[in-house]
Amino acid sequence: DKGRPIYSSEEVAKHKTLKDRVWVTFKDGVYDITEFVEMHPGGASKILMAAGGSVEPFWALYQQHRKAEVLNILEPYRIGTLEGGAAAAAAAAAAAKDPYASDPARHPALIARSMRPYNGETPGSLLAAAPITPNDIFFTRNHLPVPHLDAEAFRLRVEGEGTRALEFSLEELKTRFRKHSVTATVQCTGNRRNEMSAVKPVKGLEWDQGAIGTAVWSGVRLRDVLRALGSRGLGSRVWRPPAPALTLCCSPVPRLPAAMRLLALRAAGLSEEDPLVKHIIFEGADKDATTGDVYGASIPVSKALAADGDVLLAYEMNGQPLSKDHGFPLRVIVPGVTGARSVKWLNRIVASQYESGSHWQQRDYKSFCPSVDWDSVEWGSAPAIQEPPVTSAITEPAPGTPLSAADGEITIRGYAWSGGGRGIVRVDVSTDGGRSWAPARLLPPPPGAPPPGSYSGAWAWTLWETTVPLPKPSADGSLPPAVELVCKAVDASYNSQPDGVAGIWNLRGVVNNAWHRVKLDLEP
Ligand code: MTE
Ligand code: MO
């Protein structure tokens, strides 16, 4: 390395385009790969994501880079040495007194929408590249600083009205209950909010279409844990009917007094018929230092206990322990329900007569008539969003990609997903702003998910693609100046999407499921 110039990371960051030349770093090496960009086997756009920074996070994502040849290809492009290295930057950040200073490092491909708290989405070109979203580029939605929990000391407290409280270590959860895996999409309620604020300003993060992702989640069923609450919580207080009443088949079983019926129900585990339990409340370990509030949400007990509800207390994401950003060591995954209810860093569950009283259950993640504003909103007048409506989006090509009519055709890719486990039966695509349509090809489901169009249990999105002709020059040689790509999906209940945002606009900018439109300039 002797004699090579030393560059700071700020200097490297200035080289992100072919015009400014494309620089990347690997370990302490600085490389000018401008000449290599067009030769990259994965395409120029993929390698340009690493421009101005380290290639290591991207190599970690795509296995094919874990070979010596790849280093041999890189080496001739070396121009210098990186000053200080990444460790120096991390130490400087931690030194600053800031509740977010100890937040984990994030993958540079994520598009940050805010840093404190951190919120970042997956770029379209990576989103629909595979049915399972790699952990490192799965969108992150945090309301508060990331809590740092110790897996050994961790305890999950489970309690309910009229029952004793139970505590489980992570190890107890793993060994006392059967491990279960569910392939499920998590989507933020504010996904695609930027289209709503284009109509009229809304309060919230300016998400594009990437606040969504799909993973194979593994853990224990919430249902199994709640049943343990019922039986273990009551212990010796279990009421048993007199023996003859149960053994004589033809004599009527005596009707139990209400309180005793309840005890009998509890003995068999928590039940939907229990009048004292209507909601299951989840609390996270992330806390607002000024108000003392912790993140919380709840779901109806029917979803929590349903045999086919698949609600998980997950400790793994795609076969790996949960990362810090995604809820280490334990989170809830509520399949088919909006992301806000899948509480991360879970440390308390309460079976209750009431919904969660948290800000996020009561005064957020609700939608209203477009005329309702911040002065007139009555939060209590609308229910908390649980199952979101059917949606779809184009992930490729990205807005701004120039189209060349000479190519003759274009390949369009995207995702479609609906709440409640309703599968996707069809995705329609238009290249003329919605005047004419053709169905797209639905891609095979991710591992563990039922086929497209399934009526229930379709917790994962359906990816789709289609190749369509581009407009041809008319007799006088003229071409439309732009093409408007549009997609819309139909779910297993034949729900479809509204054509525009205006009619579903709401002050928080949530549940935008309008037709997704991408306008692209057309060149000859
Ligand atoms: N859980 C806690 N404890 N704190 C949070 O801020 N955000 C919620 C949910 N669970 C949140 C949480 C929201 S709004 C969403 S969309 C999902 O987590 C996002 O999950 P992800 O960050 O793993 O993608
Ligand atoms: Mo969210």
Which of 9-13, 27-31, 71-75, 352-356 ranks highest by mean pLDDT?
352-356
Checking ipTM against 0.95, whether it exceeds it is: yes
Indicate whether residue 23 lines ligand 1 (CB < 6 A): no
Question: Residue 140: CB within 6 Å of ligand 1?
Answer: yes
Write down the pLDDT at residue 259.
63
| Cα separation, 257 vs 498, whole angstroms | 52
Would you state the structure tokens that stand for residue 391, as one six-digit string?
């949606």
Is residue 62 flagged as an active site residue?
no
Provide mean pLDDT across the span 272-296.
90
Is the CB of 345 within 6 Å of ligand 1? Answer: yes
Handedness of CA 149, 385, 396, 456 (dihedral sign): positive
Best residue among 141, 143, 331 to mutate for probing ligand 1's pocket (most ligand atoms within 8 Å of CB) is: 141
Domain ranges of the chain: 6-86, 235-267, 391-523
Report the C-alpha gap between 9 and 108 in whole angstroms: 14
Q: 3-state class of 334 per DSSP? A: coil
Instruction: Using DSSP, state whether 517 is helix, strand or coil.
Output: strand
What is the arithmetic mean of pLDDT over 67-93?
77
Share of the chain above pLDDT 70, in %: 89
- Residue 379 Cα to ligand 1 middle (Å): 21
Atom 9 of ligand 1, residue of closest alpha carbon: 340
Secondary structure (DSSP) of 375-408: TT--GGGSPPP-SPPPEEEEEESPTTPPEEGGG-
Taking alpha carbons only, the member of 278, 301, 308, 300 closest to residue 421 is 308
Other C-beta atoms closer than 10 Å to the C-beta of 328 total 22
Residue 262: its pLDDT value, please? 58
Taking the C-alpha atoms of residue 318 and residue 448, their distance in angstroms, rounded to an integer, is 12
What pLDDT score does 128 carry?
Answer: 87
3-state helix/strand/coil string of 412-448: EEEEEECHHHCCEEEEEEECECCCCCEECEECCCCCC
Categorize the per-residue pLDDT at 236 as very low, low, confident or very high, splitting at 50, 70 and 90.
very low
Distance 138 CA to ligand 1 centre (A): 12
Say which range, 75-84, 215-224, 422-431, has the weakest mean pLDDT: 75-84
Euclidean distance between CA atoms 313 and 310, whole angstroms = 10
pLDDT of residue 59: 84
Instruction: Answer yes or no: 15 catalytic.
Output: no
In words, the CATH class of domain 391-523 is mainly beta
Pocket test of ligand 1: the residue of 344, 359, 508 to mutate, having most ligand atoms within 8 Å of its CB, is 344
CATH (residue range 6-86): 3.10.120.10
Question: How are beta strands 78-82 and 29-32 bridged, if at all?
Answer: antiparallel
Residues 304, 360, 143, 347: is their CA dihedral positive or negative?
Answer: negative
Considering only 243-247, 261-265, 337-341, which range has the smallest mean pLDDT? 243-247
Mean pLDDT, to the nearest integer, of 495-520?
A: 97
Atom of ligand 1 nearest to the CA of 190: 16
Residue whose CA lies nearest to ligand 1 atom number 13: 340
What confidence tens digit (pLDDT) does each residue in 23-55 have?
999 888 999 999 999 989 888 888 998 999 988
Residues near 466 by beta carbon (within 8 Å), at least 6 away in sequence: 411, 412, 429, 438, 439, 440, 441
What confidence category does residue 62 fall into, taking pLDDT thresholds of 50, 70 and 90? confident
Ligand 2: distance of its center to the CA of 19 in Å? 38
Compute the average pLDDT of residues 62-89. 80
Residue nearest ligand 1's atom 14 by CA: 340
pLDDT tens sequence across 165-192:
899 999 999 999 999 999 999 999 999 9
CA of 131: how far to CAs of 216, 332, 386, in Å?
Answer: 10, 21, 24
* Model confidence band, residue 260 (pLDDT cutoffs 50, 70, 90): low
Closest CA to 387 of 340, 439, 445: 340
Q: What is the pLDDT of residue 516?
A: 98
